Amino acid sequence: MFEVFSRSYYLGRLYVTPTDENRAFIHSDQHQRINEEVYATGDGIERLDSPLVMKLESRHFPVHGDERVPANTLAVPESMLADVDVRNPPSLREVFLARRERAQQLLSFVGSAVSVDDYSSAGT
């Protein structure tokens, strides 16, 4: 679903659609699989429910898992769609996924209470 794009990002194509929720979602199975492949370190027991950090056009945001979202779809709050060029949703769009290190950096910039590290190596 995502391919290496740069040292900081993977690139993928997802259907982007609006949601009434105040945060972004992808299908929970895909969310967990991406977490395992991209954010997990392989050290000890790790949680696989940390938010992914994605970028649509110039906007970064955390993405959570939800089983109600169709596969290969990114559900984005309607308020965010006003800032991007999405017409006739669901619209197939290029989406960037921040690599682990970049995600940590972005979350620290916004002072997020949630860090990728919060979900690694439980019990340490």
> Which of 122 and 68 is assigned the larger pLDDT?
68
Domains and CATH numbers, the chain: 2-119 (2.40.40.20)
- Of the pLDDT bands very low, low, confident and very high (cuts 50, 70, 90), residue 120 is very low
Tokens of 29: 């199975």
pLDDT the model gives residue 64: 93
Whole-structure pTM value = 0.79
Print burial letters for 39-68: b (CB count within 10 Å at least 16), e (below 16). bbeeeeebeeebbbbbbbeeebbbbbbbee
